[in-house]
Homo-oligomer: A and B are copies of this chain.
Amino acid sequence: MSHILDGPAPGARQAQKQKTRQALLDAALRLLEEQSLSSLGLREVTRAAGVAPTAFYRHFRDTADLGVALVEEALGSLHTTLVATLAATGDGEERITAAVDLIAAYVRAYPAHARFIAREQHGGVKRVREAIGAQLTLFAQEVAAQFAKEPEAAGWSEDDLLMLARMYVDHMVMTASALLETDDDGPVTDTARRQLRLVGLGRLHWLDAPALDEPVRGN
């Protein structure tokens, strides 16, 4: 263990603090596999983490606050990975496989994190819902920005690109949730790939359609 980077200025004291903080996050995440955040008790978490109830307040105001921290932990590191995956693959079937594999790998590596996001995306705690929504919107913007760089995006409005990107992002969350409720990934990833293929086909022919800016309102 090197002491060079964590010792000098910061303090080995904060290391211990973040250690218990992480213990609280881990304990909470484990408990959240079988319940929702809005029913997660402060004492429940501290008990599972092996610390006194009052220690909780040194790190979080309440369980909603802890939930927001969990959102960052679950989604924060995914931005670079996602964008890198999209940038590294071309269009079409190759990219579809890469995207589905990415999410399947994530769900298998961090099932509790994935479950937490899928569950609390529409959950009962407003601040957490908003935090997840903001992250997903950010994902969509990043995906749209990546799309914009590619030749296939010629003629697309910014709004339509964002609409397309949101569809991909929302589909990822749906796929993750579906993966969590099965033990055989095969059928789920297969369906996910076919659905992405369908959207990709629609994308290819999007500009074939006549102008729909002001569709017939006769009805």
Contacts and interface: CB of A to CB of B under 8 A. Distances in A.
B198 A167 contact: yes
Given A35-B38, A35-B124, A200 B202 contact: yes
Given A35-B38, A35-B124, A191-B166, A206 B198 contact: yes
Interface in A192-219: 194-195, 197-206, 208-209, 212, 215-216, 219
B123 A36 contact: yes
A78 interface: no
A196 to B, nearest CB: 10
Interface string A165-179: 011001000100100
A77 interface: no
B181 A124 contact: no
A199 B197 contact: no
Contacts of A59: none
Interface residues on A, range: 35 or more
Contact of A38 (B38, B201, B202, B212): B38
Query: How many copies of this chain does one complex carry?
Result: 2
Contacts of A212: 93, 197
Interface in A94-143: 94, 97, 118-119, 121-124, 129, 133
A123 to B, nearest CB: 6
Interface of A: 32, 34-39, 93-94, 97, 118-119, 121-124, 129, 133, 160, 163-164, 166-167, 170, 174, 177, 181, 191, 194-195, 197-206, 208-209, 212, 215-216, 219
A3 to B, nearest CB: 42
Contact of A201 (B133, B191, B201, B219): B201
A166 B191 CA distance: 10
Given A119-B124, A201-B201, 11 more contacts: A38-B39, A121-B122, A122-B177, A133-B181, A166-B195, A167-B198, A197-B209, A198-B199, A198-B206, A201-B209, A204-B205
